[in-house]
């Protein structure tokens, strides 16, 4: 008679727990939270058919998906569509499948029937689709925020406990191996009787670095919305962070997963197992040390090469008023540009594309030379900036453009396609922006009609996201230093693209500000501490963004605005109206029919926060993005804005005492413990 097989206690516990979870989780309709549909609609049958095919594929792949995530695409350009689903990491496959099935049905039938881009959040899962590729890309917009309406009687060390607990969860989730759920849940005691519960998760297609960055950005948003609240949640397209004073995750599943046994080496005797375990651990340690040492040495070598290369560039860019000989600078530039070999474009190709720089192809004249439209052999439209041979500042701009934009990729930054250094020509080739620059529309009484409120709000959000990328999310910390309406280009769909990085400055390490006696930029947009003292920082860009916001709302230039009877600047005029409760009087009269009063007033409020005199009082761009996205956030009260710094354009000053004049609708809600 065979004796019954005995399983280890840990395995029995694990199997029993999974059974309990499966039975305990009901498959009722998932808990709907929010949805987002963009303004781009489709009427083509092909796109709709492709979308239905995609949604069917997502639903069918939720049935046997062990990590609660799947992405797919359907169709060919221009009707291709991309989508994914993403289930919470502590839920069973059945719950995930049920949620995805509801999402694929509800998103088109109830919420976004004609839109090309849509997202829907449930408590159990998230689903999105778009006509643009979005896989393996960290995205934070659009986002959705909820908070517990009850305030917390906060102990003195609560914030420290919250930061530590979220930090632990973020580290665990971000460092999950490839192919695994990037999910972590943990708890901590903050009083004798009460616990803090934290849940974080990223989509599994993100790199560890992007996951870590996404979760930290989400936590930054929680600091703004949910300070002293009993709970809060922020959901991005790529990640989510949730904390509560009650259990906000399936604790049984998390504990069972932690108890799941690891594979044990097989052998005849217990002693031999121990020996092999010790040997394996020792060898692993040795190999790990060797690999780490090799990696550290490689990174050290790479860093030294980067420091040397950057020091050469900075030497060229930041010489205080010193004349640079053309031959010497060209030699440096050619060596630098060769490091971006893939960007080099032959001169004859550019000449053919621009019809030999014909006047018919000329788009305009910039401070550093003319700009021409071109068409490549494959039909791709380009814009070519031809730098003047006599412009020393143009040489610095050329190197800044090549070395910065070549390393920056963001939907709200203009894309550099290539450059050319042949026969004393210095050419920069960009993607072509058919709608020219924002100032062409904004400050023209006829063209301005085309910018209704939703377009202006979209432009404001896009500029904010582009600046946030420069300040915090790119590999480099970059200050633009010349943000203005003429440097915001508009694509076919009037999406904004920040351009002209000739005056931008790179900051390395923990440095965030610098002092210079070469004041470059445009008066009217300059922060006072920069215009008067040469002190530049990310808050200088925030000031310029605030000016630009008020210009977009009013349709008037700050640099040319005045009231004849009072002599006020646009900033002071906006402050006066806002302080008197007449903020809507600042709004462009053309926006009366298309605007939403609460949105306009919120944007004026944020704009005034950005133009405060003390840089410390101005918000960071990450705070600005969160404030723009939220409807019910408590926004700080601004102080009186800085004085206006002139009304003329400054190309460059050679000393501190001399001057040469020359853009998602998201709803925020309260949520109570379930």
- Tell me, what CATH number does 409's domain have? 3.30.200.20
| Least confidently predicted of 8-22, 96-110, 599-613, 632-646 | 8-22
- Looking up residue 74, the CATH number of its domain turns out to be 3.30.430.20
Average pLDDT of the chain, as a whole number: 76
Question: Is pLDDT above 80 for 612?
Answer: yes
Contact in structure between 666 and 599 (CB atoms under 8 Å): no
Is 207 a member of any domain? yes
For residue 226, tell me if it sits in a domain. yes
The pLDDT score that the predictor gives to residue 134 is: 87
Q: Please report where in the chains the tokens 């004798």 appear, as a residue.
A: 192
Tokens of 26: 């009901």
Considering the domain architecture, whether residues 460 and 480 belong to the same structural domain is answered as: yes
Tokens of 523: 């008066």
531 versus 271: which is more confidently predicted? 531
- Torsional sign, CA 238, 243, 244, 250: positive
Question: What is the pLDDT, as a whole number, of residue 56?
Answer: 92
Q: Does one domain contain both 71 and 22?
A: yes
Taking residues 546-569, what's their average pLDDT? Answer: 76
Q: What angle do CA 120, 122, 126 make, to 5 degrees?
A: 55
State residue 652's pLDDT score: 35
The answer to whether residues 335 and 237 belong to one domain is no
Query: What is the token pair recorded at 390?
Result: 């006599």
Q: Which of 273, 295, 502 is nearest to 388 (CA)?
A: 502
The per-residue DSSP string of 295-315 comes to HHHHHHHHHHHHHHHHHHHHH
Q: Are residues 421 and 466 in the same domain?
A: no
Helices 9-24 & 251-259 angle (0-180, nearest 10)? 160
Closest to 372 in 3D by CA, of 401, 352, 391, 346: 352
Same domain assignment for residues 109 and 161: no
Residue ranges in 86-130 assigned as alpha helix (H): 93-106
Place 552 in a pLDDT band, splitting at 50, 70 and 90.
very high
- pLDDT higher at 271 or 59: 59
| 125, β-bridge pairs | 87
Rounded Cα distance between 221 and 227, Å, is: 10
Angle at alpha carbon of residue 266, lines to 261 and 270, rounded to 5°: 95
The whole-angstrom separation of Cα 611 and Cα 539 is 9
Alpha helices in 514-632 (DSSP H): 528-533, 538-554, 570-579, 597-610, 621-629
- pLDDT of 478-518, one tens digit each? 888 889 999 999 998 999 999 887 777 776 544 455 554 45
HSE-up of residue 607 (Cα within 13 Å, Cβ side)? 32
State the residue range of the domain holding 375: 326-431
d(C-alpha 453, C-alpha 669), whole Å: 24
CA distances from 530 to 255, 373, 394, 615, 619 (A): 55, 35, 22, 10, 17
Domain boundary among 385, 404, 431: 431
Domain boundary among the residues 102, 130, 158 is at: 130
In a domain, 332, yes or no: yes
The continuous run of DSSP H or E covering 241 comes out as: strand 239-244
The residue ranking higher by pLDDT, 663 or 228, is: 228
Cβ contact 523:649 at 8 Å: yes
Are residue 107 and residue 240 in the same domain, yes or no? Answer: no
**CA gap 328, 324 in Å, rounded:** 7
Q: Is the pLDDT of residue 171 over 50?
A: yes
**pLDDT confidence of residue 271:** 44
Secondary structure (DSSP) of 413-468 = BPPEEEEE--TT--EEEEE--TT-BHHHHHT-TTGGGG--HHHHHHHHHHHHHHHH
Residue 360 scores a pLDDT above 50: yes
Q: Which of 229-238, 518-527, 576-585, 637-646 has the highest mean pLDDT?
A: 576-585
Rounded to an integer, what distance in angstroms lies between the CA atom of residue 547 and that of residue 524? Answer: 8
Strand bridging mode 195-202 / 182-189: antiparallel
The yes-or-no verdict on residue 390 having pLDDT over 80 is no
- The confidence score (pLDDT) of residue 505 equals 77
Instruction: For residue 262, name the pLDDT band (cuts at 50, 70, 90).
Output: very low
Residue 102 and residue 576: Cα distance in Å, rounded?
A: 50
Instruction: Determine the Cα–Cα distance for residues 381 and 434; give it in Å rounded to an integer.
Output: 9
83, part of any domain: yes
- What residues act catalytically? 482
Q: What share of the chain is helix, strand, coil (3-state, %, to 5)?
A: 40, 20, 40
Is 176 found in the same domain as 115? no
Distances (CA, A) of 293 to 77, 287, 288, 306, 674: 47, 10, 8, 20, 50
In a domain, 33, yes or no: yes
- DSSP string over 150-219: SB----TTHHHHHHHHHHHHHHHHHTPPTTS-EEEEEEEESSSS-EEEEEEEE-TTS-HHHHHHHHHHHH
Q: Which residues neighbour 266 within 8 Å (Cβ) at sequence distance 6 or greater?
A: none
Beta bridge partners of 234: 145, 241
Say yes or no: 468 and 410 in one domain: no
Q: Say what the pLDDT of residue 473 is.
A: 82
- Whether residues 567 and 501 share a domain: the answer is yes
> Using CA atoms, how far apart are residues 428 and 401, in angstroms rounded to an integer?
8
Q: Residue 290 falls within a domain, yes or no?
A: no
Number of domains in the chain: 4
Q: Global pTM?
A: 0.50
Indicate whether 643 pLDDT > 90.
no
Between CA 422 and CA 345 the distance in angstroms is 9
Query: Does residue 316 lie within any of the structural domains?
Result: no
Which among 354, 625, 70 has a CA at the least distance from the CA of 363? Answer: 354
Q: How confident is the model at residue 180 (pLDDT cuts 50, 70, 90)?
A: confident
Same structural domain, 541 and 633: yes
- Tell me the C-alpha distance between 610 and 616, whole Å: 10
Half-sphere exposure of 511 (CA within 13 A, CB side): 13
Q: How far apart are CA 533 and CA 443, in angstroms?
A: 30
Of the candidates 520, 516, 528, 519, the one whose C-alpha atom is nearest the C-alpha of residue 501 is: 520
For the residues 650-669, what does the mean pLDDT come to? 31
Residue of 242, 234, 161 lying closest to 200 (CA atoms): 242
Going by pLDDT thresholds of 50, 70 and 90, the confidence category of residue 534 is confident
- Cα distances from 121 to residues 33, 88, 142, 166, 621, in angstroms, run 5, 11, 11, 22, 25
Burial class of residue 628 (count of CB atoms within 10 Å of its CB; 0-12, 13-18, 19+): buried
pLDDT band at 266 (very low <50, low <70, confident <90, very high): very low
Whether 284 maps to a domain, the answer reads no
Choosing from 431, 461, 496, the residue where a domain stops is 431
CA 105 to CA 58: how far, in whole Å? 11
When comparing pLDDT for 9 and 414, which is higher? 414
pLDDT tens for residues 150-162?
777 655 567 778 8
What percent of the chain has a predicted confidence (pLDDT) above 90?
Answer: 32
The verdict on 585 and 472 lying in the same domain is: yes
Residues 6+ positions from 47 with CB-CB distance below 8 Å? 75, 79, 81, 116, 131
Looking at the fold, whether 93 and 123 belong to one and the same domain comes out as yes
């Amino acid at each position: 008679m065979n004796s019954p097989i005995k399983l280890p206690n840990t395995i029995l516990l694990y199997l029993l727990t999974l059974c309990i979870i499966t039975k305990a989780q009901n498959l009722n309709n998932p808990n709907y939270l929010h949805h987002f549909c963009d303004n781009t609609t489709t009427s083509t049958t092909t796109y709709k058919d492709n979308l239905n095919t995609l949604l069917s594929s997502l639903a069918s792949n939720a049935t046997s998906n062990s990590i609660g995530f799947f992405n797919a695409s359907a169709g060919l350009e221009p009707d291709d569509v991309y989508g994914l689903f993403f289930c919470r990491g502590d839920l069973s496959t059945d719950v995930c499948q049920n949620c995805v099935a509801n999402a694929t049905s509800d998103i088109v039938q109830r919420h976004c029937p004609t839109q090309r881009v849509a997202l829907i959040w449930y408590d159990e899962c998230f689903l999105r689709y778009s006509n643009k590729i979005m896989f393996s890309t960290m995205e934070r917009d659009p986002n959705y925020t909820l908070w517990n309406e009850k305030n917390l009687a906060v102990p003195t060390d609560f914030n420290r406990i919250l930061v530590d607990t979220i930090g632990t969860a973020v580290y665990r989730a971000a460092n999950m191996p490839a192919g695994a759920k990037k999910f972590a849940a943990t708890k901590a005691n903050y009083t004798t009787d009460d616990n803090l519960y934290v849940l974080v998760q990223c989509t599994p297609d993100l790199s560890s670095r992007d996951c870590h960055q996404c979760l930290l950005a989400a936590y930054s948003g929680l600091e703004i919305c949910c300070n002293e609240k009993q709970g809060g949640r922020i959901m991005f397209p790529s990640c989510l962070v949730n904390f509560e004073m009650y259990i906000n995750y399936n604790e049984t599943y998390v504990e069972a997963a932690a108890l799941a046994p690891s594979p044990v080496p097989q052998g005849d005797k217990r002693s031999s197992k121990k020996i092999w375990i010790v040997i394996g651990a020792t060898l692993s340690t040795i190999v790990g040390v060797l690999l780490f040492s090799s990696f550290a040495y490689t990174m050290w070598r790479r860093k030294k090469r980067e420091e040397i290369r950057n020091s050469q560039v900075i030497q060229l860019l930041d010489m205080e008023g010193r004349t640079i000989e053309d031959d010497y600078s060209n030699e440096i530039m050619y060596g630098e540009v060769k490091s971006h070999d893939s960007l080099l474009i032959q001169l004859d190709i550019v000449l053919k594309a621009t019809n030999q720089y014909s006047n018919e192809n000329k788009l305009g004249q910039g401070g550093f030379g003319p700009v021409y439209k071109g068409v490549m052999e494959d039909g791709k439209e380009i814009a070519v900036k031809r730098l003047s041979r006599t412009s020393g500042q143009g040489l610095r701009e050329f190197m800044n453009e090549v070395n910065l934009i070549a390393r920056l990729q963001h939907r709200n930054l203009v894309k550099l396609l290539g450059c050319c250094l042949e026969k004393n020509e210095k050419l920069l080739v960009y993607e072509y922006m058919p709608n020219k620059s924002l100032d062409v529309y904004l400050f023209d009484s006829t063209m301005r009609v085309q910018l209704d409120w939703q377009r202006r709000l979209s432009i404001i959000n896009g500029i904010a996201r582009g600046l946030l990328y420069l300040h915090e999310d790119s590999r480099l910390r970059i200050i633009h230093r010349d943000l203005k309406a003429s440097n915001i280009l508009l694509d076919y769909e009037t999406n904004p693209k920040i351009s002209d990085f000739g005056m931008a400055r790179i900051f390395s390490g923990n440095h965030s500000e610098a002092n210079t006696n070469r004041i470059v930029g445009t008066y009217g947009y300059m922060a006072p501490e920069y215009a008067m003292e040469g002190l530049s920082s990310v808050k200088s860009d925030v000031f310029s963004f605030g000016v630009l916001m008020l210009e977009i709302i009013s349709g008037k230039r700050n640099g040319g605005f005045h009231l004849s009877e009072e002599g006020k600047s646009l900033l002071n005029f906006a402050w006066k109206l806002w302080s008197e409760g007449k903020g809507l009087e600042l709004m462009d009269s053309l926006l009366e029919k298309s605007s939403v009063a609460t949105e306009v007033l919120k944007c004026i409020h944020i704009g005034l926060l950005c133009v405060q005199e003390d840089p410390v009082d101005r918000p960071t761009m990450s705070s600005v993005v969160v404030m723009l996205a939220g409807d019910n956030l408590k926004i700080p009260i601004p102080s009186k804005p800085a004085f206006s710094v002139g009304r003329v354009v400054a190309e460059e000053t050679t000393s501190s005492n001399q001057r040469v004049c020359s853009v998602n609708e998201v709803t925020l809600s309260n949520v109570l413990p379930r």
